[in-house]
């Protein structure tokens, strides 16, 4: 959430080469990849030993047995259709069938005798949810995100490229991390200890005023891309979650943000922005999504609709400030919440696509269903709230195999206790999470 200073997370003791990042992240959390993998019920431990990973690693990825989830009501977030007493079949990391018992009979027969079977009778079966704004720096963070039902996430930056390393995990150890679209380092004036994330960042230590010149912003963006970032995170304004900062001041103007967008070279840019001026500059610079966006103007909303700019209100991060023990933050939370709710309604009216992002940081994870519920409280219908955490978010990520349960979709499923089409709070009642075909939570 916004209460964290993203640039001063705990630091591993030494500069980490690329291969050291994962070990560093695990060390921070006091756990190892092998121990995580061995805790996963569905994952055989054949390849989960202590053998090192690295270039030309001779081993093969973990695989999971097929999985049948039967008896529940399957919901399609795209259409709002529901199939009662439905069956979902997962095999080889994909959905091989989803529908009525009749429609899935062949696929069920194909895995008979090999499949694990979950009985979801009386419950609702959904695709794995998507959180488009998280900060994960350790395996424990990844695990907490999964437990909340988000099986795909977009990073809002990490401290030492841990998000890039997390992005590689599902290909080897299904269920250890959500599918991650990594952002790398925050494009921000003060890198703090993130300066140690890569030797190529050393030239930026010469800048007395921090990273502000357009050429330096472009350089930092290029370092991120060279390290494997798939999106770029930057800012227009200071943080709301720090009482000593005023989120209505300007950090980067339109010209500076344009330099980031240009250097991103097609990678989507997500921009932390609060003030009307800051948000407008970000949108006109061509960012892919506005994060927070409390004081967005009507003019800018119209421009977002025209350009197809996504809106990530991070409702939980804003509303939760209201209960802060810090009086400045509490006042901010109370002032901002109704303004942001009105912005969500105005954006919806204008046809701006609203997506669900929790701004979770570390293990302080808000379940993605809570964000969907808060979006519904602001004015989205239950189906629209569900779409913000599924098909709309998947479109933002550029992933058409996420956000629905149809043949060929990726093997990510959540099972919830109530009907999300009548009440968005149903998405908070998570019973089962399947990530990359691995059962990572099962409370049936
Ligand atoms: Zn954030």
CATH number of the domain that 443 lies in? 2.30.40.10
What lies within 8 Å, CB to CB, of 218 at 6+ separation is 259, 260, 262, 263
Say how far apart CA 107 and CA 99 lie, in whole Å: 11
Give me the residues of the chain with pLDDT under 50, please. 1-37, 39-52
For residues 381 and 408, state if they share a domain.
Answer: no
For residues 161 and 107, state if they share a domain.
Answer: no
Q: Determine, yes or no, domain membership for 160.
A: yes
Say how far apart CA 78 and CA 174 lie, in whole Å: 26
Distance 2 CA to ligand 1 centre (A): 6
pTM over 0.85: yes
pLDDT at 55: 77
For residues 147 and 199, state if they share a domain.
Answer: yes
Short-list 309, 183, 335, CA closest to 246: 335
Q: Determine, yes or no, domain membership for 7.
A: no
Q: Determine, yes or no, domain membership for 5.
A: no
Token pair of 266 as six digits? 């097609």
Distance 135 CA to ligand 1 centre (A): 6
pLDDT at 259: 98
Kindly give the residue spans of alpha helices, DSSP state H, lying in 139-192: 139-147, 162-168
C-beta separation of 149 from 414 below 8 A = yes
Distance 381 CA to ligand 1 centre (A): 25
For residues 326 and 381, state if they share a domain.
Answer: yes
Q: Residue 104 belongs to what domain range?
A: 64-127+404-444
Q: Determine, yes or no, domain membership for 18.
A: no
pLDDT at 54: 60
For residues 304 and 425, state if they share a domain.
Answer: no
How many separate domains does the chain show?
2
Say how far apart CA 50 and CA 33 lie, in whole Å: 9
Say how far apart CA 344 and CA 338 lie, in whole Å: 10
Short-list 161, 196, 195, 197, CA closest to 180: 161
What lies within 8 Å, CB to CB, of 410 at 6+ separation is 93, 94, 95, 128, 179, 399, 401, 402, 436
Token pair of 417 as six digits? 């206790």
Helix (H, G, I), strand (E, B) or coil at 56: coil
Q: Residue 211: which CATH number?
A: 3.20.20.140
Distance 351 CA to ligand 1 centre (A): 24
Q: Determine, yes or no, domain membership for 1.
A: no
For residues 382 and 411, state if they share a domain.
Answer: no
Q: Give the position of tokens 């075909």.
A: 437
Distance 314 CA to ligand 1 centre (A): 9
Q: Give the position of tokens 């004015």.
A: 379
Helix (H, G, I), strand (E, B) or coil at 97: strand
Containing 106, the helix (H) or strand (E) segment is: helix 105-111
411 CA to centre of own chain: 17
For residues 206 and 70, state if they share a domain.
Answer: no
Distance 182 CA to ligand 1 centre (A): 13
Exposed / middle / buried, residue 176 (Cβ in 10 Å: 0-12, 13-18, 19+): buried
Helix (H, G, I), strand (E, B) or coil at 31: coil
Bridge partner residues of 435 (DSSP): 438
pLDDT at 58: 86
Q: Determine, yes or no, domain membership for 6.
A: no
Q: Determine, yes or no, domain membership for 13.
A: no
Bridge partner residues of 73 (DSSP): 124
For residues 368 and 276, state if they share a domain.
Answer: yes
Residues around ion ligand 1, judged by CB within 5 A, are 156, 359
Say how far apart CA 407 and CA 87 lie, in whole Å: 12
Distance 397 CA to ligand 1 centre (A): 17
Question: By percentage, how much of the chain surpasses pLDDT 90?
Answer: 87
For residues 278 and 422, state if they share a domain.
Answer: no
Q: Determine, yes or no, domain membership for 283.
A: yes
For residues 264 and 410, state if they share a domain.
Answer: no
pLDDT at 342: 98
C-beta separation of 34 from 220 below 8 A = no
For residues 84 and 194, state if they share a domain.
Answer: no
For residues 219 and 170, state if they share a domain.
Answer: yes
Distance 291 CA to ligand 1 centre (A): 8
Say how far apart CA 431 and CA 72 lie, in whole Å: 12
Tens digits of residue pLDDT in 389-403: 999 999 999 999 999
Say how far apart CA 302 and CA 391 lie, in whole Å: 22
Tens digits of residue pLDDT in 308-351: 999 999 999 999 999 999 999 999 999 999 999 999 999 999 99
Distance 368 CA to ligand 1 centre (A): 14
* Residue 268 CA neighbour count, 13 Å, CB half: 18
């Amino acid at each position: 959430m916004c209460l964290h200073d993203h640039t001063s997370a705990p630091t591993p003791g030494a500069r980490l080469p690329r291969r050291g990042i994962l070990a560093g992240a695990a060390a921070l959390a006091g756990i190892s990849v092998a121990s995580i993998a061995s805790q996963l019920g569905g994952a055989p431990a054949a390849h989960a030993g202590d053998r090192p990973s690295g270039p030309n690693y001779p081993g093969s990825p973990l695989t999971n047995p097929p999985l049948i989830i039967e008896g529940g009501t399957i919901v399609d977030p795209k259409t709002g259709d529901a199939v009662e007493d439905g069956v979902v079949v997962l095999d080889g990391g994909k959905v091989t069938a989803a529908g009525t018992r009749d429609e899935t009979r062949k696929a069920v027969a194909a895995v008979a005798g090999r499949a694990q079977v979950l009985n979801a009778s009386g419950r609702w079966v959904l695709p794995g949810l998507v959180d488009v704004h998280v900060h994960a720096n350790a395996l424990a963070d990844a695990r907490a995100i999964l437990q909340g039902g988000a099986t795909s996430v977009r990073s809002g930056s990490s401290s030492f490229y841990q998000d890039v390393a997390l992005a590689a995990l599902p290909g080897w150890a299904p269920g250890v991390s959500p599918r991650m679209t990594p952002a790398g380092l925050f494009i921000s004036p003060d890198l703090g200890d993130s300066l140690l994330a890569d030797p190529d960042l050393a030239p930026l230590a010469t800048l007395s005023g921090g990273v502000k010149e357009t050429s330096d912003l472009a350089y930092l963006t290029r370092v991120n891309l060279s390290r494997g970032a798939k999106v770029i995170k930057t800012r227009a304004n200071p943080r709301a979650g720090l009482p000593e900062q005023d989120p209505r001041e300007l950090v980067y103007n339109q010209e500076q943000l344009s330099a980031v967008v240009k250097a991103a070279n097609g990678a989507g840019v997500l921009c932390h922005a609060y003030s009307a001026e800051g948000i407008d500059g970000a949108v006109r610079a061509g960012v892919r999504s506005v994060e927070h966006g409390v004081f967005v103007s009507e003019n800018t909303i119209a421009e977002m609709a025209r350009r197809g700019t996504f809106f990530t209100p991070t409702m939980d991060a804003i509303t939760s400030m209201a209960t802060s023990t810090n009086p400045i933050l509490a006042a901010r939370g109370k002032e901002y919440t109704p303004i942001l709710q009105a912005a969500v309604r105005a954006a919806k009216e204008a046809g701006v696509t609203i997506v669900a992002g929790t701004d979770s940081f570390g293990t302080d994870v808000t379940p993605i269903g809570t964000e969907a519920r808060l979006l519904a409280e602001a004015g989205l219908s239950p189906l629209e709230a569900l779409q913000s955490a599924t098909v709309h978010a998947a479109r933002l990520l550029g992933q058409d195999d996420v956000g629905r349960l149809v043949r060929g979709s990726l093997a990510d499923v959540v099972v919830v206790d109530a009907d999300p089409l009548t009440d968005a709070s149903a998405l908070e009642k998570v019973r089962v999470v399947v990530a990359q075909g691995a059962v990572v939570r099962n409370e049936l």
